[in-house]
Amino acid sequence: MDKAELMGRYREHVLETGHPPASVYAFTKSFGASERDFFEQFASFDALESGIWRTAVDETVAKVQESDDWEGFTAQQKLLTFHFAFTDQILNHRSFFLARFPRTTDRPGWPSKQLHGMRDSFVPFAKSIVDTGMERSEIVCRGPLNRGYPQGLFLHFLTVVDFNLNDDSQGFERTDAFVEKSVRLAFDLIGTQAIDSAADLVRFLFRRKS
Amino acid sequence: MAQEQTSIPSNRASRVAALAGAGAQVGVNYLKHYGRRVVGSEPATDTLHEQNADVVYDAFSKLKGGPLKLAQMLSIDKNMLPEAYRNQFAQAQYSAPPLSYPLVVKTFQREFGKKPLEIFDTFSKEAAHGASIGQVHRAAIGDKTFAVKVQYPGVADSLNSDLAIVKPIALRIMGMSERDFAPYITEVQKRLLEETDYELELKRSIELSKNSRSLKNIRFPDYYPEYSGKRVIVMDWIDGIPLDQYAENEASKEKRNQVAQSIWDFYHFQIHTLLRFHADPHPGNFLVDENNAVVALDFGCTKEITRQYRDDYFRFLDPALLEDREGFEAAMRKLDLILEEDSLQEIDLILHNAMLGTKLLGRPFYEKSFDFGDEDFMKSIYEFGERQRTDRDLKQMKTARGSPDSIYLNRAYFGLYSLMGLLRAEISARSPGTRESS
């Protein structure tokens, strides 16, 4: 029994009953497998859900990188393409996302443990985008601060998913607009000297006072 | 079609404008607003022409998005304070930055299940230029080039909330009650929603270009329904000079006159013969090709009027009416510009101003040919508007007047006057196909 099959059965169970199975025992029994089959793949239901979110990201990343234009895209275009592809991916499993995806409103503890798998998949991808941006000088070099960007993009990614799940506009058009606008803002912030200039000014004023 | 024209009140002078009904209300605000900048502090006449063109163009090119369009239309129709308007709406300004290429790709995939490059041989990643609620990309199959118009996502969706933002501001500025205001906002909303419907726009564009084929010196791109959908319209790419640039260029007076006359005749044909017209004549919607022919683009916003309404509206251009107070009053009542509950004093005031306004704004129609490059004309419109604005008695009248139908007719004429001014053209304001009084 592989991970994909377990994830599929788990998803089905949640969608049909509206809640996770009572126990791994009950879950595996329902399709004639053993607990061992489950635990060989996942340590818990949380780990399984984490795997589901991670897979969604993995699949999207693989898909967007396949396209012909990919190499020619700017960092911003790459990131946008990813987000649009991911919202499209959500469409395949929207009910499950709605039922189980950890939301920003679930604070405290957000982003929760279940999202770690997703993060582990997204962050290296985001790092490759940041690297593209640095090469193309779309992103201003700010030394160690740049290392935080992939993490920042991950938080942004979660807000996009969250926005999408709350979106009730036709064809989820508002999500598209949100992606466009927020990505543009993000790149404006990391792509210009505005923040550096602000920081410079603050430092200057601060020195004068002391 | 020629016969239909005979039913228009067709004294030479009796054929135009928006001016008519509202007389006072018309485009005055707008014109005076720009007129102020033209004639206000800067009396040096040599620069007036240029400024005039710039100012009018600026005004139009900046008005994008729901609130601005609403603002634009209300200010044309209602006697709104231009200053207050400008300040208040500047805050509500909605300016859409260009769509990213990935989103264009997504739109294509949603519409056609294909990427742009799976349909076209080439497709520009950057937009060639903007449209009011979308942008235009250049594409090609073989050596045939296309203009591909792509709509911003969520435009239709955000429209209602945009209008909701503007409504209280508009109410306050105009001092109108919610109830008086409702028919206007409904009308504007309806048109704006239509504008977001690219399928409808495609249909209208094809219809209008087919029906207007007989007109001289005006041409239309071909449209391609097979590549068009809810968010995408594909038409021929036509090389030409945008009208505003054309006006600034060295084009001779004869050429400018020819262009202006073609546009003018095109609108009169739409309004009087087709009874459906393009309600948004601004420089961005016209190109001039190498043969000095006008290319008309973008029929998102069209308005249909009834024959009856047209007749009532254009009655005001009968010069005899200006001498006939009772007739004028009757015509005003017909268009709900004078209401049952008005006092005698109010009626006097309205009539007086409307007659003045009609006389002034109808001037192009009273003369054999009229020079829109005439600064004095602009200036008197401005002064008239200014007097209206500061008139205390007029200010106290807050009731909504006039049919919502007039909004777009007024708007069309306001746009048309501005275009004529932009081109500094001398034209004959007669409608095509109509002759001296019948």
Decide: residue B203, CB within 10 A, 0-12 exposed, 13-18 middle, 19+ buried. Answer: middle
Closest partner residue to A80 among B97, B103, B158, by Cβ?
Answer: B103
- The answer to whether the Cβ–Cβ distance between A174 and B154 falls below 8 Å is yes
Nearest-5° Cα angle at B139, B136 to B143:
140
Per-residue confidence (pLDDT) for residue B176, from 0 to 100: 60
- The answer to whether the Cβ–Cβ distance between A176 and B103 falls below 8 Å is yes
Q: How many CB atoms lie within 10 A of CB A102?
A: 21
Give which of B104, B106, B155 to mutate to test A binding, by max A Cβ within 10 Å: B106
pLDDT (tens, 9 = 90+) of chain B, 438 residues, equals 333 333 333 333 322 322 332 332 333 333 433 444 444 433 333 333 333 333 333 333 333 344 445 444 444 443 333 434 444 443 333 345 678 899 999 999 888 989 999 999 999 988 887 766 788 899 999 999 999 999 887 776 666 666 666 666 556 555 566 776 677 777 777 877 888 889 999 999 999 889 988 898 999 999 999 999 988 999 999 988 888 888 888 788 899 999 999 999 999 899 999 999 988 777 778 899 999 999 998 787 788 899 998 888 888 888 788 888 888 888 888 888 788 888 888 888 888 888 888 888 888 888 888 888 887 886 777 677 667 656 666 656 656 667 777 777 877 887 788 788 878 889 988 644 443 333
Q: How many C-alpha atoms does B247 have within 13 Å on its Cβ side?
A: 27
Residues from chain A contacting residue B105 (CB–CB below 8 Å): 81, 84
How far is the C-alpha of B103 from the C-alpha of B92, rounded, in Å?
25
Residues from chain A contacting residue B106 (CB–CB below 8 Å): 84, 88, 176
Nearest chain B residue to A80 by CA distance is B102
Q: Does A70 touch chain B (CB under 8 A)?
A: no
How far is the C-alpha of B136 from the C-alpha of B130, rounded, in Å?
6
Q: Name the minimum distance, in Å, from the CA of A55 to any CA of chain B.
A: 22
DSSP string, B216-261: TTEE---B-GGG--SSEEEEE----EEHHHHHHTT--HHHHHHHHH
- The answer to whether the Cβ–Cβ distance between B101 and A169 falls below 8 Å is no
- The answer to whether the Cβ–Cβ distance between A84 and B103 falls below 8 Å is yes
Nearest chain B residue to A76 by CA distance is B100
Q: Does A180 touch chain B (CB under 8 A)?
A: yes
Q: Name the minimum distance, in Å, from the CA of B135 to any CA of chain A.
A: 15
How far is the C-alpha of A70 from the C-alpha of A105, rounded, in Å?
34
- The answer to whether the Cβ–Cβ distance between B102 and A174 falls below 8 Å is no
- The answer to whether the Cβ–Cβ distance between B102 and A169 falls below 8 Å is no
At B213, list the tokens.
Answer: 């084929």
How far is the C-alpha of B366 from the C-alpha of A171, rounded, in Å?
53
How far is the C-alpha of A148 from the C-alpha of B417, rounded, in Å?
57
- Cα separations in angstroms, B154 against A167, A176, B4, B143, B197: 11, 8, 42, 34, 12
What digits encode the pLDDT tens for the residues A58-71?
A: 999 999 998 878 88
DSSP string, B396-429: H--S--S-THHHHHHHHHHHHHHHHHHHT-EE--
Low-confidence ranges of chain A (pLDDT < 70): 106-111, 208-210
Per-residue confidence (pLDDT) for residue A104, from 0 to 100: 72
Per-residue confidence (pLDDT) for residue B18, from 0 to 100: 28
Q: Which residues 103-132 of B are in CB contact (within 8 Å) with A?
A: 103, 105-106, 110, 115, 117
Q: Does B101 touch chain A (CB under 8 A)?
A: yes
Decide: residue B341, CB within 10 A, 0-12 exposed, 13-18 middle, 19+ buried. Answer: exposed
The residue type found at B111 is E
Give me the interface pTM, i.e. the ipTM: 0.77
Residues from chain B contacting residue A71 (CB–CB below 8 Å): none
Q: Residue for token digits 């308005």?
A: B303
At B236, list the tokens.
Answer: 């021929």
Q: Name the minimum distance, in Å, from the CA of B280 to any CA of chain A.
A: 26
Nearest chain A residue to B231 by CA distance is A173
Q: Name the minimum distance, in Å, from the CA of B102 to any CA of chain A.
A: 5
Nearest chain A residue to B105 by CA distance is A81
Give chain B's largest Cα–Cα span: 70
Nearest chain B residue to A87 by CA distance is B106
- The answer to whether the Cβ–Cβ distance between A176 and B153 falls below 8 Å is yes
List own/partner pairs for B189-194 with CB under 8 A and 24 or more apart. B189/B159, B189/B160, B189/B163, B191/B279, B191/B301, B191/B303, B191/B408, B192/B66, B192/B69, B192/B70, B192/B159, B192/B163, B192/B301, B193/B156, B193/B159, B194/B300, B194/B301, B194/B302
Closest partner residue to A169 among B101, B152, B157, by Cβ?
Answer: B157
Q: Name the minimum distance, in Å, from the CA of A176 to any CA of chain B.
A: 7
Q: Name the minimum distance, in Å, from the CA of A88 to any CA of chain B.
A: 9
Q: Which residues 155-214 of B are in CB contact (within 8 Å) with A?
A: 157-158
How far is the C-alpha of B134 from the C-alpha of B140, rounded, in Å?
19
- The answer to whether the Cβ–Cβ distance between B99 and A170 falls below 8 Å is no
Q: Does A84 touch chain B (CB under 8 A)?
A: yes
Helix (H) or strand (E) holding B145: strand B144-151
Q: Does A203 touch chain B (CB under 8 A)?
A: no
Cβ atoms of residues A160 and A105 within 8 Å? no
Helices (H), chain A: 3-17, 24-29, 35-39, 45-66, 75-92, 94-100, 116-135, 149-166, 173-191, 194-209
At B84, list the tokens.
Answer: 């207050």
